[in-house]
Every structure is written in C-alpha cells, then in structure tokens.
Structure 1
Amino acid sequence: MLLILFGLLFLPTVLTGRPTIVMQRTANLVLEGSDITLECLSDVDEDMSGYVFQKYSKWMQTWVQLDQPNTFRCWYYDVNVTRDEGRLMLNVKDVHSWHAGPYRCISVNGSSNASASESFTIPIYYLRDILLSQMNSWCGTVGDTVIVKEGSDIEIRCSAQSSQTPSYEWSKEGEDWIKVTDTLKLVKVLKEQSGTYTCQARNPVVFSLVKSKSVHLTVISSEAQTVYGSLSLFSMSTPHLVMAIAVPALALLVVTIIIGIFIKRHRSSQNEKKMALKEAGHRIPIYRGSLESVPSVMGDTQPLVM
C-alpha cells in the first residue's frame, strides 16, 4: 500500500521531469579566456527541438531567448546556440566574467517553472592586472617610479580584480623579507630604503593565477628636492601626465572660444548698424537751433542737410 502511494506521488514528477543544464568541460576549472559548452538535457524528451536557451538580463529584469535573431543578441557577445541531431547546446568562446549568466533551458510550449531548468551560473575563475595607487595623494595612480622626500611617509596600495578576493604580498628586490598585505607602508623613509618594490596577487582557489607589478621608489634629500621637482613631470604616471597637459590645454581652449565668441558678436553688431544706415534710404534734415545742429551766430530757417 505504501509503495502504491509512493508511486502515485512521484510518478508525475518522473514523467514531467524538468530539463537540466550540463556543462561540458575539458578541465576541472573554467578559466577566463577558455571555451565552454552547455547542453540542455531532459529525462522525458530525447529530441530537444522544443526547448530554448535563455539568459537573464538584469537590466531588463527578464529572461531573453538566446537563439532568437534580434537586437539583444549583441549583448551576449560570443554566445552561439547550436542544434545537432536533436541536441541543444550553447557554445561560449573566450569566456569572461560577463558570460557567467545565469542561464536556463525552457520548453517553448510551457510557461511555468516546471517546464524550465534551474538557473545555471558558469563558475569562471580569473585574476586581472594589478593596479598600484598611492594613498593620500591628489591622483592616486602610481607609475613605474615614485619620488618621495626623505623623512616623509608613503603608502602604496595594491589591488586587482578577481573572481575571489586575492591574497597580496610585498617584497623588495635584493632583500629576503615578505609582507603579507595589500598595502606597503613606509614611515619616515630613509635614502637607504630606495629600491624596487614588487606586489604579487594570487587567486586563492587557482594558485596558477598570479599577477605582479613593480614600482621603483626614489628617496631624495631636501637639498635635491628642487632638482627633482623640475623633473617630476617626467616621472609622472600616465594619468598624472595626461591631467598635467589636459587641464591647461582645456583652460586655454575655453578662453580662446570665449574671445572668439566676443569678437564675432562685436563684428555682427557693427555690421547690423551699417546695414541699418544703408537701409534707411534718406537723410533727416537738421535745422539750426536743434539738438543735432552746430551752434551758430547767424539765424537760418533752412535745413543744413536734405
């Protein structure tokens, strides 16, 4: 009796099983830049021609069909849906973090959740290039060289975009110490602390994902500050150098535009006055004793100008 009741409860589920998404992989982990394939499978349908792949759009707050030729396809880059002998597959080339999903497989004849697979997100592992930034600076980006005054403090922070929070460590060329931190802090630096410092970032899950970046620290004395100050433009990082050139150039451009507009309006005003005089077509008579006349001792009732 219990077996019969059990069968009645679960038989509909078996017969109307939801489709599933299976990822075909050539390696245990999916690294950014690799190619992957997702396949939609069903326990009750061998022919998957009645199913489609969808991706959820956070911007539109809805599921978008991927094998439908419309303008939304350009948002999914190298996503390509293929159908071969009843199989339904989704191919993603050069996978990046924005390809993660979520995806689902759903029957075109069904509208309920029972006809759709559970959402599937691709587990992508990545580690991007390192960015070095100087703390308490008007433009924090650090280039290949940093010049500081002897006796001052300096903090350089190391950061990198990663699928998981990376681990950081600092080291100095020629020395055997390692600091496990993302920020290099030097208090009251000495000239002996000049040298090349390197930050290394590592993905905590995929140890082979490692990035590093070095910066050369130059500590100068107060006497040499004037000389280095004149050369500081050449040691600027790219953002520093762009701002140092772009801001004065932009200010000069604005002043030039304002002067040009003023000159153009002045010329237009003068031309309008000349045109008004030409279009008048006659002269107004001026009589002696009027406001427009020149003072004279002789009486005259005839106009001076006609």
Structure 2
Amino acid sequence: VDSIQTVYSGQISSIAGSVNQIKNSTLMLVNAAKKSDTALFIVGHVTKEGSIAGPKLLEHMVDTVLYIEGESGSSFRILRGVKNRFGSTNEIGVFEMCDTGLIEVTNPSAFMLEGRNLDAPGTVVMPVLEGSRPLMVEIQALVCPTNFTMPRRMSAGIDQYRVNMLMAVIEKNAKMRLYNYDAYINVAGGIKISETASDLAVITAIASSYKGKKLDSRCVVLGEVGLTGEIRSVNGIDKRINEAVKMGYTKAIIPNVNLKSAMQYENQIEIIGVSAISQAIEEALVK
C-alpha cells in the first residue's frame, strides 16, 4: 500500500491523511492481512526530522518498522529496522539504486571507499558500527583561511554541534589556531554517523587539512574525544578492527583503553593505542 497517507475510507468522516483516517485505515488493512495470512507492506511518508508522518500509534499497530536512508544525490541506500517483533533491530541492509531497482551491496565497505583520493590531505577512514555491522567510511575535512568576520563551520553526515565542540578541543589541546579558518566536514557516500567513536577521525582529518599533510592511507582512526583532549573507549572494537583487517588496512589508531580487546589482531595489523589527541595526530600524519 503506497502510501498510507493517501488511503481513504468512507466509514471515517475526515479527509485522507488525517490522524483518524491513517489510524483506522491501518487497522482495517492489518486485520485483513491477518485474516488472509498475507504479508502486507505499508509505505508511509516521513517528516523533515525523519520520523513517520502521522500518529505515533501507527508504529505500534504494525509488526516491523523499516526506514530507507540516503542522500538524494547518492545511489547508496541503507535499510534500517527500528522495530521488529520477530527479530533483532541491530542489523542493516545496504543497497545501491540501479536501473532495475535496489540491488544489495555485498561489500559495502569497498563500495563506500571507491574513488577515494589517497594523496589528498584531510581524508581519513574509520570503521563505524551500523547496528552490529561494521562499515568502513571516509571522513573528509577541508580547512582554509576565511574572508569573513565569523568563520563558516559546516558538516554533512556528522552533527554540526559535535564538530564545533571538537574544533574547540583542537584549539585548546592541539594548539591549532582555527578561529580564523573555515571548516567543512563531510562523510563520503551520504552516510550519517551518530556515534561518538568518529570524534578522533574528525579531529585527525581537520589537523591533516590544516597542516597540509596527508594521513597514512592504510590507517584507520577511531575513538571518542573528551573536552580535555583525552581519548575514551569505544564499543565493538573487535568487530571494527576485524573489518579493517579484511579491507587490507595495516595500521589502526585506537583508544589506549581498548588495546587489550584489540590485541588478538596484533599479528595482522599494527595497533597503536593513544590517550591524547596530540599523540593521535602525530601518529596518523605521514612523517
């Protein structure tokens, strides 16, 4: 049914798309599907905030809620489950929009890193966790002198307020004068990162662009950063390092407190534990 906001029942004295119409039409469809033992897909609109348009009750009336995410200019799509009565929601599906429809991407990490410029400053790779699935993504930073009184700070794929905070941490703890520089942060491929494990990758990308020095192209960087510049632990370190090994990376810069969990891979990848952002920047930049 595409879409539930356009379905109209003559039994309800209100226009299509109203709360009563959506609620009662969904109830009728669900009852009909259960009586006939038929699988039913209901397509719904979303708001600007990304939640289902209409009454919140709509999510409680169905067995599974799935979201398709992705930027309008990108062929990359993520199918994410936020509710599942019959299984886990800690999984995602990765697809590419082709002429024949959505096609599964069997190796999303390679797909996301395709076309990466290895010789340019300001680009770093980190393994993010999408549910329980590790995914290698490229974080890009462009830092340049500003011509404005107030420097511009923009980000795509990472929370803007988080980026502003990280830039303040860099100025204070890495002694970089960023107050008269514009800064643009981007997650390649249209991926949205909400986890704080990306903090250290963002900081090293900014430092690389600011100094004009490229980062080691076979190195992954991850870690949460505190306001005093300390590097805090991240979850799922074993899955992240394993994905980096599978993708052929030879060096991983991780929080010092995660070293013990990651040492099972020490024969496959060089693992460097760091406790401060200045140390991480020094290790990540090509000498």
TM-score by length of 1: 0.20
Higher strand share: 1
Larger of the two Rg values belongs to structure: 1
TM-score by length of 2: 0.21
Higher helix share: 2
